[in-house]
């Protein structure tokens, strides 16, 4: 990267899932790493256990002294950092090398054979499957993931530097910093309209990303998207296609068609047709570097999953508890469809924490429609993340629009009590805020009772 003319890296927002993966990368390169974040989390505690100095107040006096030398320190920040952040302004004003996370990721992967996974949904699961497939077939990879892989128990893996796997994030147009050899686009639903303004601007950004592949690059696109590329789909005429699906004991068994041949009896263990598509495109991308085919098929079957992506927290006769990161109406629909497919006839209680005031505003009617499909709904307050409240945009307003009468707005403090009062057959927690921590607490409570 001007290939590391510094020895220290300081992160502003080090606890973010993408930022922490970069922090682990630089630590693996024997560089000194430190950082700031707003609040402690299990992820920041893991980083601290690896020897990274982290503080939780925007206070320059807490930055370790060696990181205050501009000639020897790279500053990496997340776009979520507010413009009045004192540390960020100091480093900018004092002439430090200050780069966005996406810039650094682009520089790290520039000289590798880069696999990039883009799309408004499915990036983390697809890139995690792809990393697992490549690792299990002996490909020397470095992977930066947007979630904690249950196969690696991490969001970062370093098995070599010849190949890289990254998520091509459309937020803040970050993916335009990448120049992949092989890329996929899983979906182009409207999202991040606070950044893009309208759906067409966001779609144009995906088209620009597609144009940034290296000259001999290959682009895989889900069948039906308005893009040219190698197509993939289910029960259609795609270049890579899944057909003849059966379900046995929660496992999909199917035939996988490629342009050269059909592989019969392939197995995949993550519920949901959306996850089948994620697995299919990861397989299609991995096959391009000619790994042993039998090992590739076996690796697809052994993929464990990603934390908070259709994760079973409890799986008992009297209670099934699933936790999922779904924070967009399309994702909520996919989770509901997967539960109905895998657990037909059971009643489902959904607990949803909306994420961002702007997203709740932009998709108010769609959220209401998606949530109405569950048998009952408990709604938490909106998780603000980087945003200030927007007048008139509240969980109360969303609740009013949900047509299902079995609905209630609840606090985190009352959540366990409200769930127990409903005695659900299936409980699913949904959202991209801190509801994952609530899910862990609920798991402990329900396991203790049993």
Q: Which residues belong to the annotated binding site?
A: 119-125
CB 338 within 8 A of CB 368: no
Phi, psi of 230 (to 5 degrees): -80, 125
The β-bridge partners of 185 are: 118, 221
| Continuous segment of H or E residues that includes residue 370 | helix 364-371
Q: Which of 184, 33, 211, 34 is nearest to 114 (CA)?
A: 184
Strand partners for 32: 8
What are the binding residues for ATP?
119-125
- What's the rounded Cα separation, in Å, for the pair 73 and 96? 7
Token pair in block for residue 314: 């409890």
Please give the distance of CA 301 from its chain centroid, rounded to a whole number: 21
CA distances to 102, 135, 251, 266 from 302, rounded to whole Å, are 31, 12, 11, 11
The answer to whether the beta carbons of residues 187 and 330 sit under 8 Å apart is yes
Cβ atoms of 203 and 342 within 8 Å: the answer is: no
DSSP 51-98: T-EEE-S--GGGS-GGGG-TTTEEEEE-TTS-TT-HHHHHHHHTT-EE
The single residue listed with the structure tokens 């499915």 is: 122
């Amino acid at each position: 990267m001007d290939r590391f003319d510094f020895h220290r890296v300081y992160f502003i927002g080090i606890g973010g899932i993408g930022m922490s993966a970069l922090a682990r990368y630089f630590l693996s390169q024997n560089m000194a790493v430190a950082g700031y974040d707003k609040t402690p989390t299990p992820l920041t505690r893991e980083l601290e256990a690896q020897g990274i100095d982290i503080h939780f107040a925007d206070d320059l006096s807490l930055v370790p002294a060696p990181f205050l030398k501009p000639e020897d320190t790279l500053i990496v920040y997340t776009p979520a950092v507010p413009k009045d952040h004192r540390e960020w302004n100091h480093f900018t004003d004092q002439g430090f090398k200050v780069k966005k996370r996406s810039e650094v990721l682009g520089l790290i992967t520039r000289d590798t054979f880069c696999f990039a996974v883009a799309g408004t949904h499915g990036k983390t699961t697809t890139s995690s499957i792809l990393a697992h497939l490549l690792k299990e077939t002996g490909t020397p990879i470095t992977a930066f993931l947007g979630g904690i892989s249950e196969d690696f128990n991490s969001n970062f893996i370093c098995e070599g530097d010849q190949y890289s796997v990254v998520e091509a994030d459309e937020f803040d147009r970050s993916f335009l910093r990448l120049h992949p050899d092989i890329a996929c686009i899983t979906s182009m639903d409207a999202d991040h309209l606070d950044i893009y303004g309208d759906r067409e601007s966001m779609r144009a950004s995906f088209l620009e990303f597609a144009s940034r592949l290296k000259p001999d690059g290959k682009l895989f696109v889900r069948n039906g998207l308005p893009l040219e590329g190698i197509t993939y789909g289910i029960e259609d005429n795609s270049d890579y296609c899944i057909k003849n699906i059966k379900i046995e004991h929660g496992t999909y068994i199917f035939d996988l068609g490629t342009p050269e041949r059909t592989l019969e009896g392939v197995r995949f263990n993550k519920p949901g047709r959306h996850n089948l598509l994620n697995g299919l495109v990861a397989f299609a991308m991995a096959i391009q570097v000619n790994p042993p085919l039998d090992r590739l098929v076996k690796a697809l079957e052994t993929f464990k999953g990603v934390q908070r992506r259709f994760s079973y927290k409890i799986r008992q006769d009297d209670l099934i508890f699933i936790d999922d990161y779904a924070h967009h109406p399309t994702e909520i629909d996919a989770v509901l469809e997967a539960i109905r497919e895998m657990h037909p006839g059971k009643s489902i209680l959904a607990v949803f924490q909306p994420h961002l005031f702007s997203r709740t505003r932009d998709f108010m009617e769609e959220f209401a429609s998606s949530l109405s499909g569950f048998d009952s709904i408990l709604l938490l307050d909106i998780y603000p993340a980087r945003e200030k409240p927007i007048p008139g945009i509240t969980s109360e307003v969303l609740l009013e629009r949900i047509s299902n009468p079995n609905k209630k707005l609840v606090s985190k403090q009352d959540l366990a009590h409200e769930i127990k009062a409903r005695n659900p057959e299936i409980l699913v927690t949904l959202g991209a805020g801190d509801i994952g921590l609530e899910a862990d607490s609920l798991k402990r409570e329900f396991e203790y009772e049993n």
